[in-house]
Every structure is written in structure tokens, then in C-alpha cells.
Structure 1
Amino acid sequence: MACDSSLSRLPEDCVSRILSLTSPRDSCRMLAVSKQFRGPAESNLVWDTFLPSDYKPRPSNTCPSPSKKELFFALSDYVLVEAGKKAFRVDKSSGRKCYIVSARELSILSNGIDNIWSWKSNPESRFCEVAELETSSMLSIEGRIRTQTLSPSAKYGAYLIIKISNQAYGLDSIPCEISIATGDRKIASNTAYLRDPADGKKHILQGLFYGNRGEMLKKRVDQLGDQRVPRKRDDGWMEIEVGEFFNDGGDEEMVMSLKEIKGHHLMGGLIVEGLEVRPKE
């Protein structure tokens, strides 16, 4: 390729500087194109630009310092931060910051009483505890994050990470309201059903149980959105997209919420691990 030939005539540090203006994905692709680019594509100069600017590795007297590329990929898996209240990683494709706010850091209330939720350990969770809804006739989950902690000039999505227990009931009789707001400005608004997409039989039985009352309540909120449902994640949990926003580099507090519209019926069996904020393509 002519492009490859032109690059190969440049000094390695020049190629590294060019690659530092691209992305982690592009640098890895360059490694696959030709072995002659291995040096520039793996250089600390390139991967230092992909690491978060506020990241400072802890020095060690016993272990050799890893390369910047090794540090980057070590951070591409979630690590606990802020005394285990949040999890942090960098996105492998873009190098942008991602966070999961644990259930303990969310505002989780029901009927104004917080002991309707129980706190339990879960071997599949990255946090010490998850929250499980015992029984209630009202549901409100709210998470907050400041945009200055995220990567600037990037579009982000917010996702509630959940499981639905085998004994769950009443969660998807009517849709929930999901929204993202900052200050008095609502950025995104939609509706969602808290149901396991793989459990169609339970959905049919609940539809028969609630009957016409559920259909009447659904009509009240049909105009709010497209009624999202959870989808499976690679880590064994499910997630439901709350909404998206663009981080322009300012310092705003994003408030992400899921609220069950009052239907005066009991529900239980929702398990919440946290709320993830990650970049979108």
C-alpha cells in the first residue's frame, strides 16, 4: 500500500505522534497491518495520550513499571474506586471514561421508606452488595454523576444494571418512566418495562392477572416513548437504557432516574447492581 510505504519512511517518533492523534482501536489496527509499525504503535508516547489525563499510577519498588499500553488494557476492565462505591474503566475502542455507580450510591426509595429494599451479596456482582426490592406499591431509583468526571466532547448513555428474580411479581404490569435531566432541563425521557425478555410465559400470566386495568394504565403512558425492555449483558446481568446525553466538557450534574408510574399494585423481585454511564459510538 502506498500509504504504508509513506509512513514507513517516517521516523518512528513521527509515526507515534500521528497514531497518538487517532484512537486505541486505530493503533491496534495498525499493529495488524504490518510488523514494521509495531514499535510506533506500542510506544508509550501513543498510549500515554489514551490514558485518562488525571490517572496517576502508583509507583512500586518491587515490580517493574508496566508500559503505557499495559496500563491502558489493565484499566479496560472495571476496577473499584471511591471505597468500592463506584467502578471505573476506560473504553477499549475510544479511551473514554466509563463508570458504574453502585446501588449503595443510588437514591433508592419506595413509599418514602428505605427498608423496603434488602441489601444482599451477589457472587456475580462487582460490588459488595446489591439491592433487592422486597415488596412495594411504588418504585423510584435515581443516580447522579457530574460531567467533569467523564471524558469531554463525547456522547454518553446511561444504563440501569438489573436482574429479575425467579419470584418477581408486578414489575411489568405497567411501564416505568425513565429520564435524564440536569437542573430544570430534561434531556431525555422515555418508558420502559422491567421484564426479563427471555421469560415470555411469566409476561403472559401477568397480563391475564392484571387484565383490563393494566391496559388502561398502559394507554396513559404510551405517548411518552417506545417502551424499552432490558437486554442481556456479557457479564450475566441485564441492562435497560435510561437515556443519552452529550458531555460538552462543562460541569453539570446529570440526574438519571427510573420511576414506576403509580398503579397502586404490589411489586417485588427487582435486583439492582448499579447504574452505568459509558460512551456511545
Structure 2
Amino acid sequence: MGGTTSSTGRGGGTSLGDLPENCVAEVMLRLDPTEICGMARLSRTFRGAASGDGVWEAKLPRNYARLLAAAAAGDDSEEAAALELEAIPKKEVYARLCRRNRLDGGTKEFWLDKVGGGICMAIYSRALSITGIDDRRYWNFITNDESRFHSVAYLSQIWWFEVRGEVEFFFPEGTYSLFFRLHLGRPFKRLGRRVYSADHIHGWDVKPVRFQLSTSDGQHAQSKCYLTDPGVWINHHVGDFVVKNSNEPLNVQFAMVQIDCTHTKGGLCVDSVVIKPQYLAQKMAARTSSV
């Protein structure tokens, strides 16, 4: 009479810990990684299931081995050698890819979105081809703690504005959105408060900036907008591209130009180019205006 005897021999109803670990693992396959980590705290059985390779391999991109190799290639520490071992637990692979993995001398980095498992990338302004960047009358790199890379390219004034770049990478399958991260005005701190200088801002309301994107498999996108709203960082949406084969590297080229030489323009910070899965891009404060 009374409650069912638990597996420990004590009276009372069954508990979550009485569930078979393989059943718990099946449930975890339907959860996102943050939910899996939360459930691992419930009991020893849940913790064991949450550490299983089968659970985490299902959350990794199909080409995770290539991504891990890219992370190792960009890591000059002793840890890089350990990344080549096939025996590394898939949970550790997931955690490693969620870190900022730098490429090309630290001018690019990629990481795995902890929630959705999609690959994101940031390309520093120093990795871009910027017209006039070597002439300090026009451009300077200035320190900025709001940048992932701790400095940004700042334009004082120029007639011919052109910024181009490219990246070749083994992107996992999916749809991606590409943005330029820009700021009108020069941000800085005064008495501990964030302010910005509008001294050089001019010319962006005369003609729109044109954004372009193309891929090695023939995809094209473009947009254009006037640059407005000084004092805030804005992610200007260039366009989207689709990756169908994660085992082939995709070359993505992108640009922003305003080459109408009838007027000068200036007062612009160029931080980086950001590539994110479309599901994440829809959550970003993307800003673009059709004209």
C-alpha cells in the first residue's frame, strides 16, 4: 500500500533520476544547448545524458571537423595541438567553437551561437581594403572599447569613399546575412560618460551609400541608404546569401561605396563586417533604408 518504492529502496514516488539515461538523452536531442546545460543540474542521470557525444554531435554543424581545424590553425597556443585529437568529447568541441576563434592574424574571428548552433563571423576594419587608409589626412585607426577588436577606422574627410573586403570560409549550410557595423561621429568617454564628437560629420545626406555582396557560386545582393542617426552603432544590412554545401569553401566579397566626387563626406567610424545566420540577423538592430 502507498507509494512506489524507488530504486534506492526508500519509500516514495519515482523521481526524475529513475528515468533511463538513454530516454533522457532522447529528450535532450529536442532541446537547445542552454536548456541541456540547465537540465544537467537536475540529477546524476541528467548530467550523464547531457555529457553524451550523441547529444552534442546533433547540435554541432555537420562540418564541425573543418571548423575545429580552422580554430586550431588560428590558435598559436599549446592547446591547438589537442584540438586535433579525435577523442575530444563533442561537448568540449561545442564549447571550443563557441569561443572567439581568430583567423588571419587576428583580423577575423568566428564563433558558434550558443543557443542556435549557427556560425557567426566578424571581419575587422584592418582586414578591409579602404581607399586612402594610408593617408592620415583622411583616415586614422582610433582606440575604441566598443569594438570587438578594440579599435576602429575613423574617416575625417574624403571625396572618394570605398571600402571592400572578402572572406573564404567553410560556412555550414544555411542562410546568412551580412552587415557593416558603422557609427556616425567619433565616440569617446568624458568624465566616465559616453559621448561623441560630431565635428567631422558631413556629406552622408547628399547621396546614399551603396552596399554590395557577391559569392563565388554566383549569388548577388545590394542595397543602399543614407547614413543617419549619429552617436549610435548601426548594423547596415548589405544582403543575404545561401550556403548549400558546407564541405566546399565559399568566397564572399562585399563593399560599401559613395564615389560621387561632387562633395566630401566624413565623420564615420568603420568597425567591422558581421556575418550571422539569418535567424540571428532578424534579432539584430539592423538598419537599412530603401531609396
User: In which range does the TM-score fall when normalised by the shorter chain?
Assistant: 0.5 to 0.7
Unmatched tracts of structure 1, length 5 or more: 1-6, 61-65, 200-231
Structure 2 counterparts to residues 98-247 of structure 1, below 5 A: 98-110=120-132, 114-115=134-135, 116-146=138-168, 148-151=169-172, 153-165=173-185, 166=197, 167=199, 168-183=201-216, 185=218, 187-196=220-229, 237-247=233-243
**How many equivalent pairs are there?**
230
Alpha-carbon contact 2:165-2:254 (below 8 Å) kept = yes
Structure 2 residue 43 is the aligned partner of structure 1 residue 43: no
- Deviation for aligned residue 1:9: 9.1
Query: Helix, strand or coil for the counterpart of 1:92?
Result: coil
- Deviation for aligned residue 1:53: 2.4
Q: 1:267 aligns with which of 262, 265, 268?
A: 265
Calculate the aligned-residue CA RMSD, in Å: 3.6
Alpha-carbon contact 1:164-1:269 (below 8 Å) kept = yes
TM-score of the pair, normalised by structure 1: 0.67
- Deviation for aligned residue 1:193: 2.1
Alpha-carbon contact 2:221-2:240 (below 8 Å) kept = yes
- Deviation for aligned residue 1:181: 1.2
Query: Helix, strand or coil for the counterpart of 2:105?
Result: coil
Which structure is higher in RCO with an 8 Å CA cutoff and minimum separation 6?
Answer: 1
Please state which structure has a larger fraction of its residues in helix: 1
Change in 2 beyond 3 A, CA 1:108/1:21: farther
Letter of the 1:125 partner, please give it: S
Change in 2 beyond 3 A, CA 1:93/1:184: closer
Corresponding residue for residue 76 of structure 2: none
Query: Helix, strand or coil for the counterpart of 1:191?
Result: strand
CA–CA distance in structure 2, aligned partners of residues 185 and 94 of structure 1: 27
Alpha-carbon contact 1:136-1:268 (below 8 Å) kept = yes
Query: Per-residue CA shift, 1:150-197, capped at 9, x if unaligned?
Result: 21x21001111122212222223321111211359452111122222x
TM-score of the pair, normalised by structure 2: 0.65
Corresponding residue for residue 24 of structure 1: 33
Corresponding residue for residue 7 of structure 2: none
Alpha-carbon contact 1:96-1:150 (below 8 Å) kept = no
Corresponding residue for residue 12 of structure 2: none
Identity %: 28
Alpha-carbon contact 1:160-1:275 (below 8 Å) kept = yes
CA–CA distance in structure 2, aligned partners of residues 27 and 142 of structure 1: 41
Unmatched tracts of structure 2, length 5 or more: 1-15, 73-78, 83-87, 186-196, 280-291
Letter of the 1:53 partner, please give it: A
Change in 2 beyond 3 A, CA 1:261/1:186: farther
